[in-house]
């Protein structure tokens, strides 16, 4: 049993018979009254984020979570197939459990999160950035690089990313999978 002083971002807890991940928290010590912890919790099954206030020192149940590396193999109509790199076991994951699924490329290694007590699949997390090739974009004007103007570009996975004007089709770029933003050109 732990208490609220053990809170940290990313911690998974059992709260109201559901699994939640701590997205954000803040210890508050008002001038008058008892201290408390204000938190934002994300439900791991539904994805809904709730605000909750815990009393300081309140007991919480920490859920045992395991992260295992899996390699993305291929996509089907209703989901995605992954393979464990060590045991070669294959699993099927639905699209709603994958954060940033539009950036999945064959051969990429992702972390799949399991609830360790009952081996329930919770989510699939991509690496923070992936290198993708631009397959289509409108041509940019030569010398128009003084401003931070962006244009849409389609990458090899089919996702649309906003890129600077100097990026052309065939260029490899690095994309942040958390928000889908262009990071840099890759040589």
- Please tell me the pTM assigned to this model: 0.74
Q: Tell me how many domains the chain contains.
A: 3
CATH code of residue 85: 2.40.50.140
Whether residue 11 is found in the same domain as residue 51: yes
Residue whose C-alpha is closest to residue 81's, from 96, 89, 91 = 91
Whether residue 28 is found in the same domain as residue 42: yes
CATH code of residue 6: 2.30.30.30
Per-residue pLDDT of the chain (187 residues; tens, 9 = 90+): 788 888 888 888 999 888 898 999 999 999 888 999 999 999 888 778 999 999 988 999 998 888 899 999 999 888 899 999 888 999 999 888 888 889 998 999 999 988 888 888 888 889 999 999 999 998 876 666 667 788 899 999 999 999 988 888 999 999 999 898 999 999 8
Q: Which domain holds residue 152?
A: 130-185
Bridge partners (DSSP) listed for residue 162: 152
Bridge partners (DSSP) listed for residue 179: none
User: In Å, how far from its chain's centre is CA 151?
Assistant: 24
Sole residue written with tokens 């590396």: 69
Whether residue 105 is found in the same domain as residue 137: no
Whether residue 112 is found in the same domain as residue 138: no
Whether residue 147 is found in the same domain as residue 179: yes
Q: Are 182 and 163 in contact (CB under 8 A)?
A: yes
Whether residue 143 is found in the same domain as residue 177: yes
């Amino acid at each position: 049993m732990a208490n609220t002083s053990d809170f940290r971002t990313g911690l998974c807890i059992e709260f109201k018979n559901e699994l939640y991940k701590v997205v954000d928290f803040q210890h508050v010590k008002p001038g008058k009254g008892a201290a408390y912890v204000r938190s934002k919790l994300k439900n791991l099954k539904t994805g809904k984020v709730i605000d909750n206030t815990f009393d300081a020192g309140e007991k919480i149940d920490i859920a045992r979570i395991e992260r295992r590396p899996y390699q993305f193999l291929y996509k089907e109509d209703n989901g995605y197939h992954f393979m464990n790199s060590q045991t070669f076991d294959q699993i099927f994951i639905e699209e709603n459990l994958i954060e940033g699924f539009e950036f999945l490329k064959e051969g990429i290694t992702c972390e799949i999160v399991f609830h360790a007590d009952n081996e329930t699949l919770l989510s699939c997390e991509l690496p923070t950035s992936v290198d993708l090739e631009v397959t289509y974009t409108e041509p940019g004007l030569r010398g128009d690089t003084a401003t931070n103007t962006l244009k849409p570009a389609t990458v090899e996975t089919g996702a649309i990313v906003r890129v600077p004007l100097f990026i052309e089709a065939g260029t490899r770029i690095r994309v942040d999978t958390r928000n889908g933003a262009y990071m840099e050109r890759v040589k």
